Amino acid sequence: MIPPRNADHRRPLTLRDVSEACGVSEMTVSRVLRNREDVSPATREKVLASARALGYVPNKIAGGLASQQVNLVAVIVPSLSNMVFPEVLGGISAALEDSGLQPVFGVTQYSVEKEENVLYEMLSWRPTGVILAGLEHTDAARAMLENAGIPIIEIMDSDGEPIDSVVGISHRGAGRQMAEAIVKAGYRKIGFLGTKMTDDHRARKRLEGLTEGLAEHGIELVDTEFYSGGSALKKGRELTEAILTRNPDLDFLYYSNDMIGAGGLLYCLEKGYDIPGKLGLAGFNGTDFLDGLPMKLATIDACRREIGEKAANIIAGKGYDDGVIGGHRIELTPRLDPGDTIRR
């Protein structure tokens, strides 16, 4: 763990900040943000544009609440159908159990625009802190986070500069780690298969790390097969059939996650491929369901539950004797499990 840097003690934005930015009275700003009709369209547009640029979020808490904050932690993740994130949420819930804080969850479906909308609504209730997946956000979302005045923990990914605190792994590093394992096992004709590669920034970084790692050994990625929908065993089978039909000489397939990797493994076993002798396979995440497959798929454990626990501990102030909540950078080390699908 890298020691925490000095936290930036920001104050939440106020109506006065918006008023000064757009040159109208605080009363007019309040009317616009309460959707009152007694404001001209031009003024309304000017106020909303200034509020958005600043990252101002109206306070929905009743004015009589002394603290102007509730004991909730906003947790924003891309998906609940992807089995990765429930384990992260389990870690967050466990860490907050005796803290007096309660997590509330929002889902973005891997859309930064939807993340912006979810974040806006959650911040309007003045949570104690925010935990959200990833380092990539819209400009408006970033402005809201930078000016929220509360701990912000970006999780899952450490490849970038966080707004406040970050807890995650290097996905480029995980890709390079897999490249080393592939080369060491003697595979040379490698294909990559992935879903949501445009919106899943972490999967894209793993592909970049894989490509860089292979290039250091003079090996180029032979082929890729992408799909924009969700992860499923069926989709893994379809992707695998497509890439092997196009390039039957491939000797290793690296999948962006375990779910499609498991589908690919089942397809290859049905078709009689010699695994791992002639064809190696690997996924990513280290999910428990791999133990129930006919062969154990090689994978990299992404430290999901540990990430959730450590992020929640920062907001709850657990384990930080310096009294500073925020400004922490925790990078965990992903663990490679070769399973049965990489040559020993």
The answer on pLDDT for 266 being more than 90 is: yes
5 domain-assigned: no
Q: What pLDDT does residue 64 have?
A: 42
Residue 325 resides in a domain: yes
Task: Give the contacts of 14 (CB within 8 A, at least 6 positions apart).
Answer: none
Looking up residue 231, the CATH number of its domain turns out to be 3.40.50.2300
Token pair, residue 38, equals: 């007694």
Q: How many domains does the chain have?
A: 2
Tokens coding 319:
């384990």
Give the tens place of pLDDT for each residue, 5-24: 344 445 678 878 888 888 88
Residue 4 lies in a domain: no
Residue 138 and residue 226 in one domain: no
Looking at residue 61, what is its pLDDT?
57
Looking at the fold, whether 38 and 82 belong to one and the same domain comes out as: yes
Q: Please check the confidence at residue 250 and state whether its pLDDT lies above 50.
A: yes
146 shares its domain with 184 = no
State the Cα–Cα distance between residues 231 and 263, nearest whole angstrom.
10
Give the range among 241-250, 259-268, 285-294 with minimum mean pLDDT: 285-294
Integer Cα distance of 298 and 166 in angstroms: 27
Mean pLDDT in residue range 266-292: 95
Q: Answer with the residue of higher pLDDT: 136 or 323.
A: 136
The arrangement of strands across the sheet holding 329-331 comes to 102-107, 72-77, 129-133, 152-157, 165-169, 329-331
Do residues 89 and 182 both lie within one domain? no
Residue 1 placed within a domain: no
Confidence at residue 324, expressed as pLDDT on a 0 to 100 scale: 54
Q: What is the mean pLDDT of residues 51-57?
A: 84
User: What is the rounded average pLDDT for all residues in the chain?
Assistant: 88
Check residue 320 and give its pLDDT.
59
pLDDT (0 to 100) of residue 115: 96
Rounded to the nearest 5°, which phi and psi values hold at 165? -110, 155
Beta strands 102-107 and 129-133: pairing type?
Answer: unpaired
Shared-domain flag, residues 159 and 35 = yes
**152 lies in a domain?**
yes
284 and 163: one domain?
Answer: no
Residue 342 belongs to a domain: no
Residue 2 lies in a domain: no
Helices 304-316 & 84-96 angle (0-180, nearest 10): 30
Which residue bears the tokens 């709850």? Answer: 316
Whether residue 292 is found in the same domain as residue 321: no
Instruction: Assess whether 214 and 284 both reside in one domain.
Output: yes
First to last CA, the chain: 32
Expressed as residue numbers, the domain containing 239 is 171-302
Q: Do both 53 and 189 map to the same domain?
A: no
Q: Which one has a higher pLDDT value, 275 or 31?
A: 275
* Whether 180 and 89 share a structural domain: no
Cα–Cα dist 120/188, whole Å: 48
One-character DSSP codes across 175-204? HHHHHHHHHHTT--SEEEEEESTTT-HHHH
Is 10 within a domain?
no
Task: Give residue-wise pLDDT tens across range 177-234.
Answer: 999 999 999 999 999 999 888 889 999 999 999 999 999 999 999 999 998 877 789 9
Query: Domain check: are 123 and 27 in the same one?
Result: yes
* SS3 state of residue 270: helix
Rounded mean pLDDT of 121-138? 93
Q: Tell me the mean pLDDT in the region 33-58.
A: 82
pLDDT band at residue 2, thresholds of 50, 70 and 90?
very low
Alpha carbons 147 and 142: distance in angstroms, whole number: 9
Query: pLDDT tens-digit profile of 299-314?
Result: 999 999 999 999 999 9
Instruction: Examine the domain organization and report whether 195 and 293 are in the same domain.
Output: yes
Give CA–CA dist 281/342, Å, rounded.
Answer: 7
